[in-house]
Amino acid sequence: MGLTAALIAGILLDALCGEPRRAHPLVAFGRLADALDRRLPRRRSAGLLALLVLVAGPAALAGGLLSPLPTPAGWVAAALLLWLCIAWHSLKDHARAVVVALRGHDLVGARRAVARLVSRETDTMAAPAIRCAVLESLLENASDGVHVTLFWFAAGGLVAGPAGASVCVVAHRVINTLDAMWGYRTPTHVRFGWAAARADDLANAPGARLAALSLALMGDRRAGLRCWRDQAAALASPNAGPVMCAGAGALGIRLGGGARYHGAYRERPVFGCGRPPDDADIERAITLIGRTLWLWVAVIALVDWTWH
C-alpha cells in the first residue's frame, strides 16, 4: 500500500463507517482541551503554550507509533488515522438532517439540526436563513475537514512517507479542533484563543485556496472564479472567504447576510450570484463537494506517481 491507496482507503472507511461512535480520540482530546481552557489564565502566552503542547503531543505520538512500522503496515495505519481525521460523512449527515426537517415543515427541528453545524444563534432563524447557514457550513467545513485534511495527508506522505502523512494530518486536525473550541472573539477567548485561530488560518491557507479552485472548476467555473475574485476579500475569514464565494458562485446561489453570534448581531456581506438557495441546493452542494473530492484523489494520485 502506498500514499494513493491509503488516501482512498481512508476516504472509503469514512464513507462506509462514518465517525466511530465510541472511543473517538477527538472526544478525549476535546475533554482535555476543555479542562485546560477552564484552568489556564486568559492570556495570549497561556493560549500559545497550550496550543504548542496539545499539537506537539498527538503529532509526536502518531509519528512515533508509525515510524518503526514497515512501509506497507505504516500506510495501513496512516489510512486508519485519515479515517479518524476526515469529516465528510458526518458533515453530509448533519446537512441532510436539516433538509429532512425543512421538507417536513419542522422549523424547530431544522433549527436544532443546523445548530450542530454552525456557531451562530439559531433559535429564531427562518427557513431562508437556515438554508444559507447550512450551505455556508457545508462549503467552509468541507474545506477544513476534507480538502485541507487531504492536502496535509498528501503533503506529509509525499515528503516523509506514512509517518509524515500521519504527523501532518493529526497536527492539522488538532489545530482545527482547537480553533473550533477557542478561536472566537468572545471576552473569554479573544486573547487565550488568538494562537489557535492564527495557527488554523496558516494551516488552512494553501488547502483552502485549492479547495476554492476545485469548487469553481467542478461547478459554474466563470461564476465561481468571478465571485472568489470580487467578493472574498469582503468576508472576515481569509480562508473561508475564497471557499464560500467560489462555492456559491459555482452553485449559482446567493449566501451571506447578517446573523447573531454569541449574543451580538453581525452584519455580513451577501456573496455568490443568482437566486436565494432552496432545499435542493443543499444536496447540489453535497454533490459538488463530492466531485471535488474525487478530483483531488486523481490529482494526488498523479502527483504521487510522478513523485516516485
User: What does pTM read for this prediction?
Assistant: 0.95
pLDDT band at 186 (very low <50, low <70, confident <90, very high): confident
pLDDT tens for 68-120 read 999 999 999 999 999 999 999 999 999 999 999 999 999 999 999 999 999 88
- Inter-residue contact 23 to 84 (CB < 8 Å): no
- Element containing residue 138 per DSSP (H, E): helix 127-142
d(CA 150, CA 6): 11
d(CA 244, CA 16): 27
d(CA 173, CA 55): 9
All residues at 6 or more sequence positions from 250 whose CB lies less than 8 Å from its CB, including other chains: 215, 216, 218, 219, 220, 221, 223, 224, 288
pLDDT band at 64 (very low <50, low <70, confident <90, very high): very high
**CA 139 to chain centroid:** 8
pLDDT band at 245 (very low <50, low <70, confident <90, very high): very high
Integer-rounded Cα radius of gyration of the chain: 19
Q: Quick one: the chain helix, strand, coil %, rounded to 5?
A: 75, 5, 20
Q: Which three cell numbers stand for residue 92?
A: 453530509
pLDDT tens for 119-149 read 888 998 999 999 999 999 999 999 999 999 9
